[in-house]
């Protein structure tokens, strides 16, 4: 052995040092946070991003460090540092097993990391067993009583009681696939019974207890429908609810037994060993029914775990977090987001009753203070309640500095509320960056889009008139700040980007995908998506659109982020305008004398005019006629200021008249039904002239939608006809010339003409940065099949385009690309790729500039991917500058998988040349990081590198 080589037991450390040094050199300087240290089982390509050229550099460094010569097949076959170490030891003729070295005790950090992420678990019950075997006495749930009487529940306690419940249910005939309804308050019994149903192989069906007797009839009717649809033979509830349960039993033909948690537990029965699969149903989550009858969303174990893992990845969750929740356990946000999230990641869940929060909201904040909560939140009304109900004396000594993610979801987010809340509690340590509007729905398990944690509250200020008339989110002018300008501006909060592994899109009424900043119907897909509604094939068919799921919400996407504008079924169409109820409801609810959060604005069809009347229904305690008349006038004026037209009816109703869902959302459809059945009384119909005008105005939206759809299809066909007419001529002429410079010039003018005739708004910035008297390496992001045409149109001087080897096997593309001087590179053959790099170095040294897409390929999901190192190695070896070229808008015009191009703006930004600071691999990595940072700044897409690397690590990590 060479005396300079390390002792045998240090081989592993030395090898990991080399890998870590190279991984750090590849990491962009702008990326925040310390990189995760590579392990012996880290995947070189999937986790660390080592492409073939980087692995070649790695082998060179290993050979120099250990004074060995490694076989060439190691470059291809070795996919982890452990495999490389085996090759090194074999080359040095060391005995087998030496690579393992002495045993090392697990560090506390690694033990904690393993405990919080049971990545190999396929079901919720497997997650519980996983934690039970590792830390049975760990406090999993803390039932917060509010008066210091907090009760911890360990994993062992949860498992023991759940086993008893499962045994009792099995004795009563519960088998795999049997539905069991739960109507329980927040309590230890809820957790025991829910888990027990799963352990028995059953399917839990959470129901919410009645909120108030004033709406008991509506409550009974909805629950009877749920039980009939779910066909649940057993209902578990508290003893006090037995009279209600008896009525439900009489109203359904399936409910057979009504039991309390104490009655269902059976400690003497034989244990149950049900083994559900990943794709078995884990939960029926009945939607709150804000726009119609409740529907049972089918969620499998795989759906739930995929959503929990994606949310945890997006929020960088680990077992050091603390979730403080008052959210109801019958609602997906409290059940899945709070409890099952804590079950999966093993962070403590401090949970209190929703009634405790409603009665004394300060207890929520004090629980965050006491337990140093990091994750918590709720619907918008929770923040409003804290603003209006808490006195300064209630907050003396309160410390909210631990709260890092204060999510706001489940109902429309008020920016005013979030800003006031942040300002009110900033003196108590709440960081402004904690406020986080999120978007989710039961059909996606719970979460769908999150903003990045630690980012300030982000909103889009758009022109109100343009938005309501054309559905285009045009940014408002930033130079006007007067009151009139503010009335013309609509401010919409960003709900962030889709969770890892999920995708969203916006479509029009005909199902065609819309470009950014165009409002339409929001659709999504991903591993968390439901397979449909339980025993409801009609609604299930309406849910799906060629693999995408309809959310029922309107929204638009800007710079890859989601902006939700309202429920599709609740948007009022009047005079060719889309009117959104929520903004009007918020403003009228702020009028003194009107009950805040108890205002419903909806459209009521008028059969005489063929259009919709705008109805405002608001709760008030006022009984004096003069006071009620004044409130009506003020409500009318407020609606007029916002809508630009007066509502047809302003109806004042007594308290508790406005119907709401279990999660507190206004049930506008139910309110409309009550209004139309004459429960509140309304005014006379409009005169014949008004009817004729409204009838014509009602036709305008339909005509406009039809015109937009026809125009979009016509444009797509026109664009393809242009391409079909120009491409063959350009291709044949370039091939016939046999001169790359002339072929490029012809293609350049043809591409510019194509874009001009296709009416594509495009511009090029930074042409002066192109070196005129020396060769360079141009690198560009890759987002669409349109990229090549745009770059040929933008670059006036010929360059050597580097294309993938697969195109060389296709006769027509190969002939054309060769005619303009293209070179072909094999991304998957290490030897051929190295040869291609040498050809590029020779071409650059000979004075020819080259153009590459370092991402290698593209997909439909936005985001700048990892850059391969070939272009930058060639630039460093040739001593040539790298010129970053940023493309923006091409993905929106022609997205992967979408063959109908849309008209949209496209820009090309050519950056300043980046000269190499050396000729070695490290210099190439510095070039790569600098060019990628420049392109990321201008391309308008998120950085997918870090998220994908983390996701790959989690998927690749073996189960301990």
Q: What is the pLDDT of residue 341?
A: 96
Q: Which two tokens stand for residue 127?
A: 């997650």
* For range 39-61, the mean pLDDT: 78
CB 802 within 8 A of CB 850: yes
Q: Backbone phi, then psi, for 263, in 5-degree steps? A: -75, -30
Long-range own/partner contacts, residues 463-472 (CB < 8 A, 24 or more apart): 463/488, 463/489, 463/490, 464/488, 464/489, 464/490, 467/519, 468/577, 468/578, 468/579, 469/576, 469/577, 471/518, 471/519, 471/520, 471/578, 472/517, 472/518, 472/519
DSSP letters for 475-508:
BPPSS--SHHHHHTEEEEE---EEPTT-EEEEE-
Q: Backbone phi, then psi, for 902, in 5-degree steps? A: -115, 150
Q: Which two tokens stand for residue 894?
A: 């022609």
Task: Give, in order, the Cα–Cα distances in Å from 121 to each of 135, 311, 313, 528, 958.
Answer: 16, 17, 16, 16, 11
Q: What is the pLDDT of residue 107?
A: 30
* For range 675-698, the mean pLDDT: 47
Pairing assessment for the beta strands 459-463 and 151-154 based on DSSP bridges: unpaired
Residue 600 pLDDT > 70: yes
pLDDT digits (tens, 9 = 90+) for 767-780: 999 988 889 999 99
Q: Which two tokens stand for residue 370?
A: 């006491």
Q: What is the pLDDT of residue 576?
A: 46
Residue 285 pLDDT > 60: yes
* For range 642-663, the mean pLDDT: 76
Burial class (CB in 10 A: 0-12, 13-18, 19+), 390: middle
Closest CA to 517 of 903, 787, 790: 903
Tell me if the domain spanning 572-686 has CATH number 3.30.70.141.
no
Q: What is the pLDDT of residue 47?
A: 74
pLDDT band at 122, cuts 50/70/90? very high
- Partnered with residue 377 across adjacent β-strands are 407
Residue 541 pLDDT > 80: yes
Helix H or strand E encompassing 561: strand 561-567
Residue 366 pLDDT > 90: yes
Domains of the chain by residue range: 8-100, 121-380, 459-570, 572-686, 726-952
Q: What is the pLDDT of residue 688?
A: 39
Closest CA to 258 of 231, 283, 232: 232
Burial class (CB in 10 A: 0-12, 13-18, 19+), 810: exposed
pLDDT digits (tens, 9 = 90+) for 41-50: 777 877 777 8
pLDDT band at 647, cuts 50/70/90? confident
Closest CA to 577 of 676, 668, 704, 729: 704
pLDDT digits (tens, 9 = 90+) for 187-221: 999 999 999 999 999 999 999 876 554 455 556 77
DSSP letters for 130-192:
HHHHH-TTSEEEEE--SSS--EEEEHHHHHHHHHHHHHHHHHTT--TT-EEEEE--SSHHHHH
Query: Of 69 and 260, which is predicted with more confidence?
Result: 260
Block residue for tokens 């169409």: 573
| 459-570 fold | Luciferase; domain 3 (2.30.38)
CATH of domain 726-952: 3.40.1130.10
CATH of domain 8-100: 1.10.1200.10
Instruction: Choose the weakest-confidence range: 171-180, 275-284, 409-418, 531-540.
Output: 409-418
Mean pLDDT, all residues of the chain? 82
Percent of the chain with pLDDT strictly greater than 90 = 40
Tell me if the domain spanning 121-380 has CATH number 3.40.50.12780.
yes
Q: What is the pLDDT of residue 951?
A: 60
Instruction: Choose the weakest-confidence range: 855-864, 875-884, 912-921.
Output: 855-864
- Partnered with residue 614 across adjacent β-strands are 603
DSSP letters for 394-459:
GGTT---TT--EEEE-SSPPPHHHHHHHHHHHGGGT--GGGEEE-EE-GGGSSEEEEPPTTPPP-E
Residue 141 pLDDT > 80: yes
pTM: 0.73
Give how far the C-alpha of residue 145 lies from the chain's centroid of Cα atoms, to the nearest Å: 34
Q: What is the pLDDT of residue 115?
A: 47
Q: Which two tokens stand for residue 445?
A: 């398990």
Residue 567 pLDDT > 70: yes
CA pair distance 256, 249, nearest whole angstrom: 7
Q: What is the pLDDT of residue 96?
A: 38
- Partnered with residue 497 across adjacent β-strands are 450
Instruction: Choose the weakest-confidence range: 454-458, 535-539, 577-581.
Output: 577-581
Residue 95 pLDDT > 50: no
- Strand 349-351's sheet: what is its strand order? 151-154, 139-143, 349-351, 323-325, 375-378, 405-408, 435-437
CB 914 within 8 A of CB 883: yes
């Amino acid at each position: 052995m060479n005396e300079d080589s390390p002792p045998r037991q240090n081989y592993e450390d030395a090898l990991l040092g080399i890998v870590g040094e190279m991984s750090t050199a590849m990491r962009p300087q702008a990326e925040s946070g310390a990189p995760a240290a590579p392990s012996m089982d880290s995947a070189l390509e999937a986790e660390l991003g080592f492409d073939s050229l980087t692995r070649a550099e790695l082998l060179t460094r290993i050979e120099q460090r250990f004074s060995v010569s490694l076989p060439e097949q190691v470059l291809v076959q070795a996919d982890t540092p452990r495999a490389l170490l085996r090759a090194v030891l074999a080359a040095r003729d060391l005995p087998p097993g030496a690579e393992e070295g002495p045993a090392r005790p697990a560090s506390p950090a690694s033990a904690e990391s393993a405990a919080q992420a049971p990545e190999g678990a396929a079901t919720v019950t497997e997650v519980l067993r996983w934690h039970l075997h590792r830390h049975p006495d760990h406090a999993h749930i803390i039932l917060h009583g509010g008066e210091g009487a907090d009760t911890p529940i360990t994993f062992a306690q949860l498992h023991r009681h759940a086993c008893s419940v499962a045994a009792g249910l099995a004795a009563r005939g519960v088998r795999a696939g049997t539905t069991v309804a739960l109507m329980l308050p927040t309590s230890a019994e809820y957790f025991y019974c829910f888990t027990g149903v799963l352990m028995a192989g059953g399917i839990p069906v959470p129901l919410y207890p009645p909120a108030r007797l004033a709406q008991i009839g509506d409550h009974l009717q909805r629950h009877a429908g749920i039980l009939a649809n779910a066909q649940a033979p057993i209902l578990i509830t508290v003893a006090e609810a037995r009279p209600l349960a008896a009525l439900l039993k009489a109203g359904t033909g399936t409910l057979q037994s009504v039991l309390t948690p104490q009655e269902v537990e059976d400690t003497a029965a034989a244990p149950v060993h049900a083994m559900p699969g990943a794709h078995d149903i884990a939960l029926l989550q009945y939607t709150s029914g804000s726009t119609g009858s409740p529907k049972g969303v089918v969620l499998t174990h795989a759906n739930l775990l995929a959503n929990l893992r994606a949310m945890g990845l997006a929020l960088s969750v680990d077992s050091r977090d603390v979730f403080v929740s008052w959210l109801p356990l019958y609602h997906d946000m409290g059940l899945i987001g709070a409890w099952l999230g804590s079950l999966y990641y093993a962070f403590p869940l401090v949970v209190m009753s929703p009634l405790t929060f409603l009665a004394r909201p300060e207890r929520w904040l004090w629980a965050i203070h006491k337990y140093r909560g990091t994750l918590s939140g709720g619907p918008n009304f929770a923040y409003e309640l804290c603003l209006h109900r808490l006195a300064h004396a209630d907050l003396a000594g309160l410390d909210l500095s631990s709260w890092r993610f204060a999510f706001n979801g489940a109902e429309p987010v008020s920016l005013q509320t979030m800003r006031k809340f942040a300002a009110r509690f900033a003196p108590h340590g709440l960081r402004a960056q904690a406020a986080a509007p999120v978007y989710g729905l039961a059909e996606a398990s719970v979460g769908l889009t999150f903003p990045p944690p630690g980012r300030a509250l982000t909103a889009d200020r758009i022109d109100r008139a343009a938005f309501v008339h054309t559905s285009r989110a045009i940014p408002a002018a930033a130079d006007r700040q007067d009151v009139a300008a503010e009335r013309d501006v609509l401010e919409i909060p960003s709900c962030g980007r889709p969770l890892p592994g999920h995708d969203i899109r916006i479509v029009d009424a005909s199902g065609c995908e819309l470009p950014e900043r165009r409002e339409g119907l929001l659709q999504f897909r991903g591993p968390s998506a439901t397979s449909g509604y339980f025993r409801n094939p009609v609604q299930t068919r309406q849910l799906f659109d060629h693999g995408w799921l309809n959310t029922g919400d309107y929204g638009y996407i800007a710079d890859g982020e989601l902006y939700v504008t309202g429920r599709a079924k609740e948007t009022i169409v009047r005079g060719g305008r889309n009117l959104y109820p929520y903004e009007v409801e918020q403003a009228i609810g702020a009028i003194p004398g009107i009950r805040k959060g108890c205002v419903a604005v909806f459209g009521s069809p008028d059969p005489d005019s063929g259009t919709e009347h705008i109805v405002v229904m608001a709760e008030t305690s006022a009984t004096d006629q003069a006071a009620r008349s004044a409130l009506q006038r003020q409500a009318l004026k407020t609606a007029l200021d916002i809508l630009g037209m007066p509502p047809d009816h302003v109806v004042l109703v007594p308290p508790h008249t406005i119907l709401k869902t279990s999660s507190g959302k206004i049930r506008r459809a139910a309110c409309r039904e009550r209004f139309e059945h004459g429960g509140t009384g309304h005014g006379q119909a409009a005169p014949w002239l008004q009817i004729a005008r409204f009838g014509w105005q009602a036709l305008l939206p339909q005509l406009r939608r039809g015109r937009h759809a026809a125009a979009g299809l016509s444009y797509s066909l026109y664009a393809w006809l242009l391409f079909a007419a120009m491409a063959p001529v350009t291709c044949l002429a370039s091939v016939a010339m046999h001169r790359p410079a002339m072929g490029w010039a012809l293609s350049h003018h043809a591409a510019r003409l194509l874009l001009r005739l296709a009416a594509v708004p495009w511009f090029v910035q930074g042409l002066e940065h192109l070196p005129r008297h020396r060769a360079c390496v141009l690198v560009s992001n890759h987002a669409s099949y349109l990229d090549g045409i745009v770059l040929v149109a933008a670059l006036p001087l010929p360059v050597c385009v580097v294309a993938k080897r697969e195109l060389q096997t296709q006769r027509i593309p190969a002939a054309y690309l060769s005619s303009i001087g293209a070179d072909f590179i094999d991304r998957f053959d290490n030897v051929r790729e190295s040869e291609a790099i040498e050809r590029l170095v020779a071409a650059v040294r000979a004075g020819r500039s080259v153009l590459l897409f370092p991402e290698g390929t593209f997909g439909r999901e936005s985001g700048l991917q990892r850059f391969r190192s070939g272009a930058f190695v060639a630039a460093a070896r040739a001593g040539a500058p790298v010129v970053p070229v940023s493309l923006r808008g091409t993905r929106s015009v022609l997205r992967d998988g979408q063959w109908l191009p849309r008209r949209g703006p496209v820009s090309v930004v050519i950056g300043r040349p980046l000269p190499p600071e050396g000729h070695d691999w490290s210099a190439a990595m510095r070039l790569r990081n600098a060019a990628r940072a420049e392109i990321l700044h201008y391309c308008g897409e998120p950085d997918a590198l870090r998220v994908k690397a983390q996701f790959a690590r989690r998927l690749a990590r073996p189960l301990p």
